[in-house]
């Protein structure tokens, strides 16, 4: 059953690193989704999973009817390339699965300060309806905050062929760690909650292939030096 509830709790929706590493105090977490948006590895990261001049790629959300999403025909985002907007469910009912966190009023100011800092490289807070799954199997709608990096922020990279996205991620590393870890942790968490995201899973597989090729290449050149 779907119910619409509103009270003083602060709800935050995570769809990227906030899914597996919230790192803020919360009273409760639950699988959730938002309608009308799709998740893409189209945001550059120079402060967490890359560095200036060698940005990594992290996720942002785009409205499912955005022209660059509608232009996708497969291959991770480039025109001509899987997963397409249709593969996410568009134009029927696109939804982005993630995790909703309920933050108590005693923590909300500090949590927002730290998230504003963590997501400062291009992300803005917006308020959306979250569909939150309850333990009884039903769901409820709450207003919640979501950090989204829009196409006009200076770190935005936009679509690229899947192989290009994977190569960039495979070789990127930043202050928060290696970029592939971000992809693998997100994909693992989505699978754990039974959520499906063809774009994330396609990028995960392509990054695994690119990383394998890179380490095979490295051990071959190591052997040839001996
Ligand atoms: C999020 O996880 O909701 C925002 C993007 C990120 O920090 O990876």
CATH code, domain carrying 108 = 3.10.490.10
What are the pLDDT digits (tens) for 2-57? 545 556 889 999 999 999 999 999 999 999 999 999 999 999 999 999 999 999 99
d(CA 222, CA 226): 7
For the entire predicted model, the pTM comes to 0.88
How far apart are the CA of 147 and the centre of ligand 1, in A? 7
d(CA 133, CA 142): 11
Give the ligand 1 atom nearest the CA of 146.
Answer: 3
What are the pLDDT digits (tens) for 118-156? 999 999 999 999 999 988 889 999 999 999 999 999 999
Neighbours of 130 (CB within 10 A): 24
> Would you call 106 a catalytic residue per the annotation?
no
- Ligand 1 binding residues, C-beta < 6 A: 14-18, 58-59, 119, 147
Catalytic residue among 72, 102, 119, 222: 119
Domains of the chain: total: 1
Q: What is the mean pLDDT of the chain?
A: 89
Residue 72 sits in which domain range? 2-225
Per-residue confidence (pLDDT) for residue 73, from 0 to 100: 65
pLDDT for residue 166 is more than 70: yes
């Amino acid at each position: 059953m779907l119910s619409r509830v509103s009270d003083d709790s602060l709800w935050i929706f995570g769809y990227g690193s906030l899914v597996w590493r919230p790192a803020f105090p919360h009273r409760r977490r639950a699988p959730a989704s938002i309608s009308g948006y799709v998740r893409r590895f189209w945001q550059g990261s120079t402060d967490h999973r890359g560095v200036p001049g060698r940005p990594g790629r992290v996720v942002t959300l785009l409205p499912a009817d955005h022209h660059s999403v509608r232009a996708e025909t497969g291959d991770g985002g480039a025109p001509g390339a899987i997963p397409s907007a249709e593969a996410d469910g568009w134009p029927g009912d696109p939804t982005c699965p993630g995790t909703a966190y309920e933050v108590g009023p005693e923590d909300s100011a500090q949590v927002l300060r730290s998230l504003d800092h963590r997501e400062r490289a291009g992300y803005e807070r917006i308020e959306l309806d979250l569909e939150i799954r309850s333990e009884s199997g039903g769901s409820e709608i709450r207003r919640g905050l979501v950090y989204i990096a829009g196409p006009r922020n200076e770190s935005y990279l936009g679509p690229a062929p899947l192989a290009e996205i994977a190569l960039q991620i495979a070789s990127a590393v930043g202050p928060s760690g290696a970029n592939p870890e971000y992809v693998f942790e997100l994909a693992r968490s989505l699978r754990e909650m039974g959520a499906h995201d063809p774009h994330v899973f396609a990028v995960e597989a392509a990054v695994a292939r690119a990383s394998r090729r890179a380490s095979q290449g490295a051990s071959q050149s190591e052997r040839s030096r001996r």
